[in-house]
């Protein structure tokens, strides 16, 4: 018996001889709960709470009913047994402490995302120097952000580091740097506008910012200059120039588009391939489908590293059909906005779409033709070698 009764303790009694019904009635009158009552002949088995034993004992004596204890269980009896066996109690305490101690130790450190084995080994060595290694305490990896920054500093070949802790296992995820993408830091360059726009914010990490928020710029205009102190000193200008840029997209959306679908009917065929020769061994019925989608799988039988010239090919021919859908003008317009946003995202660089507006729309020959204006916020800066013979553009 489990539940709340287990915590208070319970007894299983067998009542014998005497006026057993009177005992049960008296216990009921006194509010004593009885469980699993099973009368059989001149005997009856009941289950009571340990706290009700004295009342049951007095009632049985009053009605001259004898009883014997068949079983007893619950937390009070378990605690009594543990007190009689202190070694077992001590062993349980030691086990809990040992389990807690083992769960507080790092048992495995793995590196994922590193294609180069040398980079993975370098990351593991750096983690070991920072105290993250098998056998170390998990408290070493409480500050995940600090650990990630330290690893990124110690391993120059990675561009990003992420640390996750799962139980007693630490997984270090890394993203290797792509070689050859960074421009030499010693080459003097300017950051110029790659497209027209209105400046929203400028963050110059190196060089001198020549534009300010709200200013309209044109392609090729210097945004962050690599010339300092009037051109005496030249650096590789770097930074982020976020600007509002406008795009115009001309899209067309059919009002009755078609869609290919499967009816569920199919025919299976099996072939035995002997080199370039194919022998059909099963599925002789021709499907007779007007449109067919074919899916086939071929075996890859080998003897060691030698591929056998005999292979088995299984083909399934599915009946396909073309469905014609109906779009309302509003649905087609929403689709046009989605297509325009996809077109703009393919043309912009490192930014986000701020909004859209339909400039013109018309329906002709079952299609919706729309001209959509989309404005974005994106980084329009690109590097260009410093032109020593031309002055820096002034603010407009």
Sheet strand arrangement including 258-274:
277-282, 258-274, 310-324, 292-298
- Distances in Å between the alpha carbon of 102 and those of 45, 141, 164? 48, 16, 19
* Partners of residue 164 on adjacent β-strands: 171
Contacts of 351 (CB under 8 A, 6+ apart): 242, 245, 376, 377, 378, 379
CA neighbor of 376 nearest in space, from 196, 190, 192, 205: 196
Q: What is the pLDDT of residue 179?
A: 65
Asked if 269 contacts 283 with a C-beta cutoff of 8 angstroms, the reply is: yes
pTM value is 0.42
Show the CA angle centred on residue 227, arms to residues 225 and 231, nearest 5°. Answer: 145
Q: What is the pLDDT of residue 396?
A: 42
Backbone dihedral angles phi then psi of residue 155, each to the nearest 5 degrees: -115, 100
Calculate the CA 252 to chain-centre distance.
37
Give the whole-angstrom CA distance, residue 190 versus residue 199: 17
Give the whole-angstrom CA distance, residue 129 versus residue 106: 15
Give the whole-angstrom CA distance, residue 276 versus residue 287: 24
Please provide the DSSP assignment of 68-81 as one string. Answer: EEEEEESHHHHHHH
Q: Which stretches of 18-114 are assigned E, i.e. beta strand?
A: 35-40, 43-49, 66-73, 108-112
Asked if 19 contacts 63 with a C-beta cutoff of 8 angstroms, the reply is: yes
Tokens of 254: 């059919």
Please provide the DSSP assignment of 148-206 as one string. Answer: HHHHHHH-TTEEEEEEEEETTEEEEEEEEPPTT-SPPTTS-EEEEESS-EEEEEEEEEE
Could you say which residues of the chain have pLDDT below 70? 1-5, 88-89, 140, 179-186, 229, 231, 388-396
Q: What is the pLDDT of residue 213?
A: 93
Place of tokens 């007894």: 11
State whether residue 17 is helix, strand or coil: coil
Tokens of 130: 């920072």
Please provide the DSSP assignment of 257-289 as one string. Answer: -EEEEEEEEEEEEEEEEETTEEEEEE--S----
Give the whole-angstrom CA distance, residue 380 versus residue 192: 8
Tokens of 349: 């660089």
Largest CA-CA distance found in the chain, in angstroms, rounded: 122
CB hemisphere CA count around 216 (13 angstroms): 1
Q: Which domains does the chain have, with CATH numbers?
A: 4-79 (3.30.70.260), 108-176 (3.10.20.310), 183-257+325-396 (no CATH), 258-324 (no CATH)
Sheet strand arrangement including 66-73:
35-40, 43-49, 10-16, 66-73
CA neighbor of 201 nearest in space, from 192, 193, 211: 211
Q: What is the pLDDT of residue 392?
A: 44
State whether residue 9 is helix, strand or coil: coil
């Amino acid at each position: 018996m489990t539940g709340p009764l287990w915590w208070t303790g319970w007894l299983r009694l067998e009542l014998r001889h005497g006026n057993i019904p009177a005992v049960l009635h008296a216990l009921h009158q006194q509010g004593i709960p009885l469980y699993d009552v099973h009368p059989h002949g001149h005997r009856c088995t009941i289950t009571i709470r340990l706290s009700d034993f004295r009342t049951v004992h007095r009632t049985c004596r009053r009605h001259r009913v004898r009883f014997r204890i068949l079983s007893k269980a619950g937390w009070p009896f378990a605690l009594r047994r543990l007190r009689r066996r202190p070694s077992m109690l001590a062993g349980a305490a030691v086990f809990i402490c040992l389990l807690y101690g083992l769960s507080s130790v790092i048992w495995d450190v793995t590196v994922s995302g590193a294609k180069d084995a040398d980079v993975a080994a370098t990351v593991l060595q750096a983690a070991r120097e920072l105290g993250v290694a098998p056998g170390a305490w998990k408290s070493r990896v409480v500050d995940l952000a600090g650990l990630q920054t330290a690893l990124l500093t110690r391993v120059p070949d990675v561009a990003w580091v992420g640390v996750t802790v799962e139980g007693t296992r630490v997984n270090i995820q890394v993203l290797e740097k792509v070689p050859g993408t960074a421009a030499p830091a010693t080459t003097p360059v300017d950051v110029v506008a790659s497209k027209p726009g209105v400046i929203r914010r400028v963050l110059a990490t190196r060089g001198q910012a020549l534009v300010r928020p709200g200013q309209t710029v044109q392609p090729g205009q210097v945004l962050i200059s690599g010339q300092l102190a009037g051109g005496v000193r030249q650096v590789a200008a770097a930074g982020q120039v976020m600007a509002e840029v406008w795009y115009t997209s001309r899209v067309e959306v059919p009002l009755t588009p078609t869609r290919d679908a499967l009816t569920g009917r199919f025919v299976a065929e099996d072939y035995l391939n002997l080199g370039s020769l194919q022998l059909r061994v099963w599925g002789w019925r021709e499907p007779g489908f007007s449109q067919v989608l074919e899916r086939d799988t071929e075996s890859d039988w080998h003897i060691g590293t030698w591929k056998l010239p005999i292979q088995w090919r299984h083909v399934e021919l599915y009946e396909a059909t073309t469905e014609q859908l109906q779009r309302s003008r509003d649905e087609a317009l929403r689709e046009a906005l989605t297509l325009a946003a996809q077109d703009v995202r393919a043309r912009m660089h490192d930014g986000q779409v701020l909004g859209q507006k339909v400039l013109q729309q018309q329906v002709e020959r079952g299609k919706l033709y729309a001209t959509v204006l989309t404005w974005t916020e994106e980084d329009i800066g690109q590097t260009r070698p410093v032109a020593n013979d031309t002055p820096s553009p002034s603010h407009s």
